[in-house]
Amino acid sequence: MKTRKLLLLLFTFIFVSNVPAQELETIMKQGNDFYQNKQFDEAINSYETILKQGYISSELFYNLGNAYYRVGELGKSILYFEKTLKISPNNEDAAYNLRIANARTVDKIQEIPPLFFVKWWNILLSSFTSATWQIIILVFYVLLLVCIGLYFLVRNLQVQKLAFVFGMLNLFAFVLSVILFISSINREIGSKDGILLKSTISAKISPDAQSNDAFVIHEGIKFEIEDKVGAWAKIKLPDGKVGWLPDTSFEEI
């Protein structure tokens, strides 16, 4: 496990809380000290205290993932590494630790391979958050305006040709970025995944505890949440199997 990035949170929190930021920074530092001294339960309590105040940070999620891994709570460890990557898709340490944690899960389910262009689209889409795509859109928009300005204002044929070529490339990149931004927003809002926190559970064929078992899954498995009925959630595994779980058995990413 990579644990070198146990960071004190300064200005990276997105929060809704009445607790002074300085106080929570102190709690974060205490949590990091507990972790370094191998007092992992105490570290978790410190990090969870911050989380309960409504603070959200990739560093906080990353530290929780490491701490839960150390105490053997594989499901929560995977959950918080996934949460880290949802906020910070390019966090290499979190991705590495997630692979280590996933290697310890019981269920080794083969995902239905997507078509090659769908696979590459998903890779491109997952490279940045929607906020980053907004910045990329702005950059290409400004570059496009510069190219348009050069094309119409500079009376030099060579410059006009270059401005036209680069303008068309920027237009393509701008449109592609807008599409990726919209797709990223739709994924963040519409797509819901969960991580099983129970050591083992039987998924049901319907939202009823008395219904037949559909399949058995184990702690740490990731699945898509397709629907909810009362206290039950319809889930879909990577291999396409569908079943129902009580919503107390897992947590959404």
pLDDT digits (tens, 9 = 90+) for 99-156: 999 999 999 887 777 778 888 888 888 788 888 899 999 999 999 999 999 999 998 9
| Choice between 252 and 15, residue whose per-residue pLDDT is larger | 252
* pLDDT for residue 231: 95
* pLDDT for residue 112: 73
Express each pLDDT in 55-113 by its tens digit.
889 999 999 999 999 999 999 999 999 999 988 888 999 999 999 999 999 998 877 77
Q: Percent of the chain at pLDDT above 90?
A: 69
The model's pTM is 0.73
Alpha carbons 85 and 118: distance in angstroms, whole number = 20
Torsions phi, psi for 57 (to 5 deg)? -155, 140
* pLDDT for residue 129: 82
Alpha carbons 108 and 114: distance in angstroms, whole number = 18
* pLDDT for residue 25: 86
Q: How many CA atoms lie within 13 A of 220 on its CB side?
A: 21
Q: 3-state class of 90 per DSSP?
A: coil
- Which of 16-25, 133-142, 192-201 is the least confident region? 16-25
- Tell which residue, 60, 92, 64, has the closest CA to residue 78: 64
- Tell which residue, 234, 195, 236, has the closest CA to residue 218: 195
DSSP characters over 114-169? PPHHHHHHHHHHTTS-HHHHHHHHHHHHHHHHHHHHHHHH---HHHHHHHHHHHHH
